[in-house]
Amino acid sequence: MSVTRVLVANRGEIARRVLRSVRERGLVGIAVFVEADADAPFVRDADLAVRLETGYLDGAAVVAAAQRAGADAVHPGYGFLSESAAFARQVEEAGLTWVGPPPAAIEAMGDKVRAKELASQLGIPVLPWSDDPADAQAVGFPLLVKAAAGGGGKGMRVVERPEDLPAAVAAAQREATAAFGDGHVFLERHLSAPHHVEVQILVDHHGEVRVLGERECSIQRRHQKLIEETPSPAVTPAVRATLAEAATRLATAIGYRSAGTIEFLLDGASGEVYFLEVNTRLQVEHPVTEAVTGYDLVAAQLAIADGRDVAAPAAAPGGWAIEARLCAEDPANGFLPATGVLEAFGVPAEPPARWESGVEAGSVVSVAFDSLLAKVIAHAPTREEAATTLARALERLHLGGVTTNRDFLANVLRHPAFLAGDTPTDFIERHAPARTLQVSEGDLTRASVAVALWRSGRNRAEAPVLATVPSGWRNARLPDQRVELVVGDEVRLVSYRVARDGSVRTSAGVAHVHRWHPEGIDLELDGWRFSTTITAIGTRYHVQVPRGTLTMVEVAPKTGEDPLASHAGSLSAPMPGVVHEVRVEAGTRVEAGTTLVILEAMKMEHPVTAPYAGVVGAVAVRAGDQVATGAVLLDLEPDDGG
C-alpha cells in the first residue's frame, strides 16, 4: 500500500521542513504537539495536528495519535525518538510505515560502543576508547566522556586530569539519562584540534549506497555544531575517497536503508581519519547537501520507506553551501541558553538564502526544548561567496527580544581564518571571533536619531487631535524635545526640533524625514540617506543597522533603588533553568572554582562556580526550584584579602 498520510513525530523547524516535502508530494501532513506548542508555526503548517497530553518522548502516545489521525507512515525528524529502535518497532508493529532505517540498523549504531566495535572489525580506524572508567590511563589523557546512546554534545565532558574523571563521569551519566533515557557512557581519546567531517549516505530499498559527499562541522561550542558546510575545505580527494569507502562498507555491513550520516574525525596534522559514530536519521545540516547535490533527502526517505526508487536530480548544482544554526543563547556569557519572547523576527527577502525556522515574531522561547530557532543556508559558486551571502542574510534578519548567537555567527563567517579554510574544532578558542554586534559610532548615532524621530512620528500618528501638524512642531520658543536611550551600557541623548521648512534640527545634525511608517523610517541625517526597520515593544526599540539589530531602551523616570536588586556578595543565575543540585550549605568554606550549584536548562547541565574563595552565607534555592536569569542563588562572603 502506498504512503498517503504522514505523521511527523517532532516539532519546530524540522517538523516544518518534513511537512513541506510531504505536501509537495501531494501527501497529507499530520503534526503532533504539546500544550507549549499549541500556537507554534509547525502546527499551523500541518493539514491536521493531534494534541499529545504527555510529551514528544511518549512513543506509545505518538503511535496512538498516528492511528487516530489515520496516518499510514511516521517520520521522526531528528532528536526525540528519531534514533530509538524501540519506537521504530512500535511504529511497525502498529502496521504503520517507518520512514527511516530498519530498527536493527538503528540498534546496531545507536549504541556508540557497539558502533566502534563494528567499525574496528571492518578495519575502519577508531580512536583509543573504553566503556570502563578504570581504563582511563590506557585510553590516555586528555579524554572525552561521552554518552553511548546519543549526541549533540549532551552527556559529554572533556577530562584533562585523572582526578577530574569521577565527577565528569557522574555528570555525563546524569545528562545522558535526562536527554536519552540511558546513562551509559564511555571514554574516548580527545584530539585537541581535529576537523569534524561527516559523510551523507542514502541507501535505497535495494541496498544501493549513494555517497552524497562530505560536510565539515568543526565550528562548535560545547561539542555542538554551529556552522556546517559542503564540501569540506580540509578534505583532499584522497581523504574523500577514504571517507566514502569507509561509509559504504559500514552501511552495507548493517543493512542500512534511508538517509544517514557517518561521522569521522580528521587529524589535520597526520591526515589520519578516525570513525566517530553513525547518526541513523536526518541531520540538522542536511540542507547543505541538498543544495549542492540537488537531492531532496526527505523526499528520498519517503520513497525508500514506500519501496519506490529514488529519483536522481536532473543535474547536480555543485558549488558550495554553508549553514548556520541560529540559537537562543548568549555567546558573550559562555553560550549559555537564553529565553524570552521573540519581539521581532523578520526574515529578509534578500540576499538569497534558505530559511528554516520553527519560530516567528511573538514566539515564546523556553528552557523546555532545544535552543535552535532556525537554520539558515546559503549556496553559491564559491566558498567565499557562500560565506559572505550567509553573513549578510543573518545580519539583515530583524531580530529582537531574545539573546541569540546571530552576531557571533556573522562574525565567524566574515573572519579571515574562516574564509581561509582554517576551521578545526578549536576555531572559537584559537581565533576568538567577536561574540557581539560590532557597531560603528556613525551607525549608532544614525540609529539613535532614527528611533527618536520614528517615536515622534508614532506619537503624532496616534494623536487624537491636530493629526496634520508636523511631528515635533512648536508655535513658541520651547526647549528641544529630548529622548534618552540606553544601548548596552551606554546612554545616548537625542534632542531635536522641527524647523519651519520641515527639516529637523537634531543634536547629531540636520535631518529630513522622507517617509514614516509603522514598521520603520526613511530619513536623511547630515547628508546620509538611509531606511531602517524599527519594532517597538513598550519603551524598548529594535532598530536595524547594517550589521544587525540594535536594541534601545528609552530611559524611564528614576523611582529609587530596585528593592529586588541583588546585593554585593550574592551569586545570581546566569540563565533561566531548574536547580538540579545545591552542593553547599550556609557556613561552607569554598575555594575559587568550586562548583556551588548545578543548573539544568535545555537538557544540559551548567555548573555555577565560586568566583573567589569565601564562606557561603544564605542559600536561596534548593533542588527542583525554577529560577530566572539574575535570580539570587546564594551569598558568598569573600575571605579577608580575597
User: What average pLDDT does the segment 240-257 reach?
Assistant: 97
Q: How confident is the model at residue 562 (pLDDT cuts 50, 70, 90)?
A: very low
Are the C-beta atoms of residues 191 and 254 closer than 8 Å to each other? no
Are the C-beta atoms of residues 586 and 592 closer than 8 Å to each other? no
Would you state the pLDDT for residue 493? 94
User: How do 143-147 and 185-189 pair as beta strands?
Assistant: antiparallel
Q: Where on the phi/psi map is residue 393: left (φ > 0), alpha (ψ -120 to 50), or beta?
A: alpha
Helix, strand, or coil (residue 20): helix
For the chain, the maximum distance between any two Cα atoms, rounded to a whole number of angstroms, is 90
Are the C-beta atoms of residues 249 and 119 closer than 8 Å to each other? no
Would you state the pLDDT for residue 472? 52
Are the C-beta atoms of residues 461 and 513 closer than 8 Å to each other? no
User: pLDDT tens-digit profile of 121-149?
Assistant: 999 999 998 888 888 998 889 998 988 77
Structure-model confidence comparison of residues 630 and 533, the more confident one: 533
Dihedral, CA of residue 609, residue 614, residue 617 and residue 621, to nearest 10: 0
Domains identified in the chain and CATH numbers: 5-99 (3.40.50.20), 128-189 (3.30.1490.20), 195-431 (3.30.470.20), 441-554 (3.30.700.30), 570-638 (2.40.50.100)
Would you state the pLDDT for residue 630? 74
Separation CA 203–CA 199 (nearest Å): 13
Mean pLDDT computed over every residue of the chain: 91
User: pLDDT tens-digit profile of 280-321?
Assistant: 999 999 999 999 999 999 999 999 999 999 988 988 899 999
Q: State percent of the chain over pLDDT 70.
A: 94
Cell numbers for 252: 552495507
Q: Using the structure block, give the residue that is written with the C-alpha cell 563494528.
A: 118
User: pLDDT tens-digit profile of 58-72?
Assistant: 999 999 999 999 999
**Poorest-confidence range of 156-165, 229-238, 550-559?**
550-559
- Residue 91, pLDDT > 90, answer yes
Half-sphere exposure of 641 (CA within 13 A, CB side): 0
User: pLDDT tens-digit profile of 462-483?
Assistant: 876 555 555 555 554 557 899 9
User: pLDDT tens-digit profile of 392-441?
Assistant: 999 999 999 999 999 999 999 999 999 999 999 999 999 999 999 999 99
Are the C-beta atoms of residues 201 and 293 closer than 8 Å to each other? no
Cell numbers for 110: 545507536
- Residue 558, pLDDT > 50, answer no
Would you state the pLDDT for residue 564? 35
Are the C-beta atoms of residues 205 and 257 closer than 8 Å to each other? yes
Q: How confident is the model at residue 197 (pLDDT cuts 50, 70, 90)?
A: very high
- Residue 628, pLDDT > 60, answer yes
Number of other CB atoms surrounding residue 568 within 10 Å: 7
Structure-model confidence comparison of residues 191 and 415, the more confident one: 415
Helix, strand, or coil (residue 303): helix
Identify the CA nearest to 261 among candidates 246, 277, 242.
277
User: What average pLDDT does the segment 152-181 reach?
Assistant: 85
Are the C-beta atoms of residues 154 and 179 closer than 8 Å to each other? yes
Are the C-beta atoms of residues 85 and 110 closer than 8 Å to each other? yes
Give the contacts of 136 (CB within 8 A, at least 6 positions apart). 130, 143, 159, 162, 165, 187
Write the DSSP assignment of 383-441 as a string of letters.
HHHHHHHHHHHHHHSEEESS--SHHHHHHHHH-HHHHTT---TTHHHHH----S----H
Q: What phi, psi does 282 have (nearest 5°)?
A: -75, 145
What is the 3-class SS of 45-110, one letter each residue? HCCEEEECCCCCCCHHHHHHHHHHCCCCEEECCCCCCCCCHHHHHHHHHCCCEECCCCHHHHHHHH
Element (H, E) at 266: strand 258-266
Half-sphere exposure of 446 (CA within 13 A, CB side): 24
Would you state the pLDDT for residue 112? 81
